[in-house]
Amino acid sequence: MKIEIMIYVYIAICISMILYNIIYVFILKHREKALTSNSEKFEEIITGEIEKIKCGKPVSQKHKNFLCKKLDKTAGITAFDKALEKIYANEPETTEKYLFETFSVFEYLTYRYISKDTVKIAYFPYILHKYNILKNYESERLTDALLGLLRSVNVYCRENTIRAIYSMQKPELVVSSLKIIDKILSFHHPKLICDGLLEYKGDKNILKDSLFNEFPDFSTQMRVNILNYFRFGNVRCDSEMLEILKNEKEDNECRFSAIRYFEKFPNDEARPVLQDIAENSAGRIWEYQAIATSSLKSYPDDVTFGILVKNLSSSSWYVRQNSAICCEQLGYTYHDLINVFDGDDRYAREIMRYYLDKRTAEKEAVEK
Amino acid sequence: MEMETLKLIFDSIGVCFIIYLIGYSTFLFLSVVIGATTLYKKKMQDRLMNKFTENYFVPITIVVPAYNEEVTVVQTVKSLLTLDYKLYEIVVVDDGSKDSTSQKLIDAYNMCPVRRPIRRSIACQPEEFIYESHEQKVPLTLIRKKNGGKADALNMGINAAKYPYFICMDADSVLQYDSLGKLVVPVLEEGNVVAVGGTVRPSNDVELSDGKVVKYRLPQNILACMQLLEYDRSFLASRILFDKFNGSLIISGAFGMFKKETVIAAGGYDHGTMGEDMELVVKLHSYCLTNQISYSIKYATDAVCWTQVPEKLGDLKKQRKRWHLGLFQTMWKHRKMMANPKYGAVGFISYIYFLLYELLSPFIEVFGVCSMIFAYFIDILNLPFMILFMLIYATYNSILTLTAFFSRIQTIDLTIKVRDCIKAIMLCFFEVTTLRFIMAFVRLIAFKGYKKKKLDWGRIERKKMNI
């Protein structure tokens, strides 16, 4: 290869990179301008339709056709979103009526969007969720399409879709959605499931029953997500949780979640079980004892006190630490724990002293 | 030696040098194009709501190792307390400072002494005292320990961390208000993330308020400005490209997040190297691949940390020597990875790239230039052609550097004045031709006195930041 060719290649790359920079700046600037101008046009058109609705007239078919055509493109739907956001903030009720009347447009668009690139698809369920468009609708075709989107490899597409499904407030659909996500190969973070369920605005007790009806069909991780949701969402399910807590054959993670549930919602039937787990580590992995020790802060009595003092000398760092935190939270004083401070176990003394001192410092900080 | 033989030797050197340059320019081209495309794609994804619309909080411990940081430590903690994130704690580890780093912090945040037992999952020097503050929005802990170097201080921080992920950062850096939220995104996207690197940007002359950029402009200091261009090139180029095949070997010590459990299992930071940040990342690769653990090391392009870069050549030389020695120590320690099929792309691509274009580059570049000078004196160099070639090569590098710079500016919604644009255009050529060569020479002589500097923190002059 002659060296001159190399020089020409370098020059060509230099020129193309300069062009690349210029073209991209131009595209970004143009896109921003186009978005502003299109959203202004949308705002004008939608406001006109809303005025008609206020006068008792329906949304015209011409407008629906216009929406079908424009919202099919990414530039159109982003401009529509920008315009609608402004209108919705000023007139939420009439905007909802407008969206109610134009539902057929979104039904049509669902089929248009499912065949697009996943990055573009993700925006569509986001719009459905943002404006609560699906709340009062029964459309089997649309729900089937949405459930299909949950199989997407794009996590944002799945996340936006499941939020749109939650906004429909249909427990059976939530269960179906979780089953689909449970079966797909792509990773879906447990936090997304648990925190997502907390967004569900429908009747939580009906949802709870639906989830428990299908509970055995879920994977362990999904079962844990669901149980965590009950705990964080304050959905009371004591009897079901007791069953899980007592069932030695149940998966460890589910039982951990049950222990944590009874830490938040104290239950007399759970008390002896938790005290037993906190006291007897034999035959169980150490996490049981550590988590159960933590839960005892909701079960103050003499038995609990004895277990906590004993666990302060556990060989497991986490059991010792949780026990000390528990003693501090239950309000035990240096006087109550005199045997620990006079005892031989330096580790127990040190950790207990730290938490009691911390309590004093925190109190002083509050008083200041 | 006969002229013919000399000519043959110089021809061979010339061919090797040209192959080397072609290799580097191809890599640079690929990485800048892929990097810029990735940033633009990310911008489009954000526009189309391919992002988490709700806040998901993964608990994080921020470890701030400090040594003689009395000028900046209070401000750094202040900026950390304004982060837009709910679930985090701050652990400052004073590595036996000789100034009043600890006292400044204790006074500023009304901290109280505590006798907190710390579980030693990783060996480190003992603590001298521990202070905590309960008056802040998140727990703030100060651990003063016996001097043991930055790696040792970080290990202490990991031991004291309560949360499953920890961030290591420098005491002279400022995290952008939304940086934690952005840094955890890869963890939510993928299940097996053990480390996430953020983007480090020079903060010289940038005005920040509560972690937000109030006024952005290029540093007035020319040296700092050239480093900015260099940072943009390296963060845009190699990091995004290596991220594509899980081959990142560096997460900057100024800003990176790690899974505590995996770091402890791998043995924590190495006390014996100066480049403890790179060593940890390479070690994580090695640990996970050896133990067949599914893992990924990600780069969050939009998680930004602002840091002061040296404004004096002496400070810059110190910093670069330290980095180069750290690179050498890490590469040597993990030499078994080189072209080893067991380590896949990390061993074949990342390791070889770092060996040829990072570790050996000063030797190759300086040798190449010296050869040209020698060839000129014995009259076997076509000087006009060589100058033309080098000019075109420098222009090529400059344009790619500018592409990296403008891609970054355009995709993080920063605006710069025309004056700054012109400054960047003018300085990039100087950076590529002059600073790069000076730094090559500095790195070449980095090994001089290397044993003495083993646990040195590598001090550079600090000044208060505009935050």
pLDDT digits (tens, 9 = 90+) for A75-91: 999 999 999 999 999 88
| Pairing state between β B173-175 and B296-307 | antiparallel
Average pLDDT over residues B66-85: 92
pTM listed for this prediction: 0.91
User: What is the nearest CA distance from B190 to chain A, expressed in angstroms?
Assistant: 6
Name every chain A residue with its beta carbon within 8 A of the beta carbon of B50.
Answer: 119, 122-123, 154, 156-157
> Do residue B403 and residue A17 have CB atoms under 8 angstroms apart?
yes
Residues ≥6 apart with Cβ < 8 Å to B11: none
**Number of neighbouring beta carbons within 10 Å of residue A250:** 15
In angstroms, how far is CA B139 from the centroid of its own chain? 27
Query: Is the predicted pLDDT of residue A69 greater than 90, yes or no?
Result: yes
Give the residue from A4, A15, A17 with the most B CB atoms within 10 Å of its CB, the best one to mutate.
A17
| Residues B306, B213: Cα–Cα separation, whole Å | 10
> Do residue A7 and residue B392 have CB atoms under 8 angstroms apart?
yes
**What is the structure's pLDDT at A84?**
95
CB B311 within 8 Å of CB B224: yes
H or E element that contains A210: helix A204-213
> Do residue A7 and residue B399 have CB atoms under 8 angstroms apart?
no
| Residues B466, A80: Cα–Cα separation, whole Å | 40
> Do residue B51 and residue A3 have CB atoms under 8 angstroms apart?
no
To 5 degrees, how large is the angle CA A122–CA A124–CA A127? 115
Residue B187's pLDDT band, with cuts at 50, 70 and 90, is very high
Give the residue from A39, A77, A117, A191 with the most B CB atoms within 10 Å of its CB, the best one to mutate.
A191
First to last CA, chain B: 64
CB B347 within 8 Å of CB B337: yes
**What is the structure's pLDDT at A44?**
95
| Residues B165, B148: Cα–Cα separation, whole Å | 23
**What is the structure's pLDDT at B457?**
55
User: What is the nearest CA distance from B136 to chain A, expressed in angstroms?
Assistant: 10
Average pLDDT over residues A275-291: 91
> Do residue A119 and residue B49 have CB atoms under 8 angstroms apart?
no
To 5 degrees, how large is the angle CA A216–CA A219–CA A225? 100
CB B133 within 8 Å of CB B109: yes
| Residue of chain A nearest B21, judged by CA positions | A6
| Residues A189, A120: Cα–Cα separation, whole Å | 22
H or E element that contains A344: none
**What is the structure's pLDDT at B66?**
94
Range of weakest confidence among A360-364, B106-110, B254-258: A360-364
Name every chain B residue with its beta carbon within 8 A of the beta carbon of A21.
Answer: 402-403, 406-407
Name every chain B residue with its beta carbon within 8 A of the beta carbon of A354.
Answer: 114-117
**What is the structure's pLDDT at B454?**
56
**What is the structure's pLDDT at B385?**
84
Q: What percent of chain B has pLDDT over 90?
A: 62
Q: What percent of chain A has pLDDT over 70?
A: 99
**Number of neighbouring beta carbons within 10 Å of residue A235:** 20
Give the residue from A8, A13, A366 with the most B CB atoms within 10 Å of its CB, the best one to mutate.
A13
Q: What percent of chain A has pLDDT over 90?
A: 76
| Residues A220, A226: Cα–Cα separation, whole Å | 10
Name every chain A residue with its beta carbon within 8 A of the beta carbon of B261.
Answer: none
**What is the structure's pLDDT at B375?**
87
Backbone angles phi, psi at A187, to 5 degrees: -75, 135
DSSP SS3 for A251: coil
**Smallest Cα–Cα separation from B354: which of B371, B332, B384?**
B332
Query: Is the predicted pLDDT of residue B48 greater than 70, yes or no?
Result: yes
> Do residue A10 and residue B393 have CB atoms under 8 angstroms apart?
yes
* pLDDT tens sequence across B290-332: 999 999 999 999 999 999 899 999 999 999 998 999 999 999 9
> Do residue A357 and residue B115 have CB atoms under 8 angstroms apart?
yes
Give me the amino acid identity at A131: Y
User: What is the nearest CA distance from A354 to chain B, expressed in angstroms?
Assistant: 5
Does A230 or B410 have the greater pLDDT score? A230
**What is the structure's pLDDT at B315?**
92
Query: Is the predicted pLDDT of residue A360 greater than 80, yes or no?
Result: yes
Query: Is the predicted pLDDT of residue B452 greater than 70, yes or no?
Result: no
Query: Is the predicted pLDDT of residue A170 greater than 80, yes or no?
Result: yes
CB B111 within 8 Å of CB B131: yes
| Residues B340, B209: Cα–Cα separation, whole Å | 48
Three state DSSP letters for A276-303: HHHHCCCCCCHHHHHHHHHHHHHCCCHH
**What is the structure's pLDDT at B146?**
96
**What is the structure's pLDDT at A22?**
86
**Smallest Cα–Cα separation from B56: which of A346, A191, A280?**
A191
User: What is the nearest CA distance from B322 to chain A, expressed in angstroms?
Assistant: 34
DSSP SS3 for A252: helix
User: What is the nearest CA distance from A268 to chain B, expressed in angstroms?
Assistant: 31
* pLDDT tens sequence across B349-402: 999 999 999 999 999 988 988 888 888 888 888 888 888 888 888 998 999 999
DSSP SS3 for A343: coil
